[in-house]
Structure 1
């Protein structure tokens, strides 16, 4: 009955606003290969709005682009720590999603989050984990250890792809060495740098295109997000997603509206639209991640409900959501990253 009522209210909202926003526009800036075409088509038909989508490959790319100003974008999908940074820099509009019609569908644990307490600027898009996936036929040992990336066995040497992402690579390295995150200890950072530079000798590439790298057979192990790992496994069934004993990152990508959005009203319509369970499920069915909207499970593809990349084993460590580091730490990390990319 609740779902029926929600669907009815969404239909009434569409009927009352479609005319007002006919021939309108919405410009989305999202991670590449992360937006459900079915979702966009449904939104366009519901409200008579033309949607355009551009892609980026990292939170830092997003931030740099928005800081330039005058992007013409309305909606962006920053990760958890980047939401906080963009709020602090005055880049996001305070759109008050907590006052929107579909906000009551949000899973309570995702409301009072440290990056947007009470949800005044953002709503969930997708959430998941960052670990790695490896071909279980190529490597037949225990996959649940970061040593496969940083001290790989012979069969994986030269067959590894790492994300081209400073935070993900450095945080994984810190966990492997059992050092704390947001680390400003010079001795530990020196050891980390030496370890990463040596480990790089066994890597083939550093690339965000994890699905393509794995499904093409270019590599046998790739640092990856769990949703991308599931999508890759559907094409290469021998792939196994790891839950390293040393720990791994949890993340949530969020939907927010830029403060200078040229189509502010349409952006708010989109925010409310994706909090409807059936629409949130369209995002998950395409991207392969959980979404933070209660009731969406009923509309998800059956193979997602018990996918090993989505459902963590009971003995897996708790994912760690890493907050933004201080400028001093970021400066250290940039130096390490520059050295690693040489």
Structure 2
């Protein structure tokens, strides 16, 4: 009898995750977590998942830092990950030691923002560029001039997604600077450029794709996945990769240091590194995912989408998004504050 009980106990331990239960609370960008992925995870592990949305990296960071949030998982952009780690807000959960880490594309397995992936795993990667409604403009859109020195057809019809780091990176490269530069001559040019550009913008809002679809605006700074979602609703929308330089970012899943459901959170991190599950995220949000083998599970309209499958002539202008020094961030913030006046 004892041997039978021991055998059953051993089987339960080996099956481990299948017998998980309880809760999991995810804090993620709005419209970024596929309901079918959550349902699949809940059914596989008998875990009740609650998803709460945020609208920016700064919102998420402030909420978690304030405490009392009740979240287990967050999805910060790569440039924010070092800040989260430095503040002690993330658990060193070692995604690199999880079973499905073998599926992570090598180019995303050891990023500068989280060497060795001790804290984070890939969620989605994308690029920052411009989206234009071709009903309004037929010319070259692979340039940040669409935003900073627009043709007359687009003036007063441009929306800027209000993400400071994305806009600053585009502007720095547009004036000939390097990412995270502390050259005050370059940064003065950036400030002057942005202040002079603002009158050509009709809004600074996160709902740019909706406005483009409805024809309320003609162009805007945007992300490639959002632009792909827009094009699938309105074929007149086209995404441009600025030749002056554009950033390539990675959003990452991480477990919070004060998470109450750590084991369920670890299950979920490993779960989304499975190729089929990573493809579910891409099919919903329309970004790349950094997981090898996911390609065969993607919807057909993504497999050759120009927004995601970057042409070689555009790829060379891309640069990795970087975490700037506190000194540079202070200057960026001052410029951004001036821009809001």
Give the TM-score normalised by the residue count of structure 2. Answer: 0.93
Q: Distance in 2 between matches of 1:331 and 1:325?
A: 10
Where in structure 2 are the equivalents of 1:312-323 lying within 5 Å?
Answer: 312-316=310-314, 317-323=316-322
Aligned partners of 2:209 and 2:137: how far apart in 1?
19
Partner of 1:299: 297
1:110-150 CA-partner distances (Å, limit 9, x unpaired): 11111111111111000010101101231111111111111
2:119 to 115, 118, 121: 121
1:27 and 2:25 matched: yes
Supply the distance in 2 between the matched residues of 1:19 and 1:142 (Cα, whole angstroms): 53
Alignment partner for residue 249 of structure 1, among 217, 242, 247? Answer: 247
User: Structure 1 residue 21: deviation in Å?
Assistant: 2.6
Corresponding residue SS for 1:126 = strand
Alpha-carbon distance change, 88 to 13 in structure 1, aligned in 2, over 3 angstroms: farther
Deviates more, 1:97-106 or 1:249-258: 97-106
- How far apart are 1:13 and its partner, in Å? 9.7
Equivalent residue, structure 1, for 2:329:
330
**Distance apart, 1:15 and its partner CA:** 9.5
Aligned to 1:6: none
**Matched residues in 2 for 1:323 and 1:19: separation?**
38
Match of 1:287?
285
Equivalent residue for 2:94, pick from 67, 71, 96: 96
Name structure 2 gaps, 5 residues minimum.
1-10
- CA 1:152 to 1:141, structure 2 compared with 1: closer, same or farther past 3 Å? same
Q: C-alpha deviations, 1:25-55, integer Å up to 9, x for none?
A: 1110101111111101111111111111111
CA contact (8 A) 2:278 2:289 kept: yes
Asked if structure 2 preserves the Cα contact closer than 8 Å seen for 1:122 and 1:256, the reply is yes
Q: Computing the radius of gyration over CA atoms, which structure comes out larger, 1 or 2? A: 2
Match of 1:221 in 2: 219
Deviations 1:96-123 (A, max 9, x none): 1111111111111211111111111111
Aligned length: 330
In 1, are the aligned partners of 2:179 and 2:322 still within 8 Å (CA)? no
Distance 1:49 1:183, change over 3 A: same
Q: Distance in 2 between matches of 1:16 and 1:218?
A: 54
TM-score normalised by the chain length of structure 1: 0.93
Structural RMSD (CA): 1.7
CA separation of 1:40 and 1:243: change in aligned 2, threshold 3 A: same
Alignment-derived partner of residue 6 in structure 2: none
1:266 counterpart residue number: 264
How far residue 87 of structure 1 moved from its aligned partner, in angstroms, is 1.4
Counterparts of 1:191 and 1:130 in 2: how far apart (Å)?
21
Aligned counterpart, 2:340: 341
* Within-5 A mapping of 1:119-198: 119-198=117-196
Task: Give 1:174 shift.
Answer: 1.0
The structural deviation recorded for 1:193 is 1.3
Distance 1:21 1:125 in 2: 23
Rounded to whole Å, the distance in 2 between the matches of 1:73 and 1:319 is: 34
Q: Which runs of 4+ in 1 moved over 6 A?
A: 12-15
User: Is contact 1:70–1:260 with CA below 8 Å preserved after alignment?
Assistant: no
C-alpha contact 1:96 1:120 (8 A) present in aligned 2: yes
- Matched position secondary structure for 1:204: strand
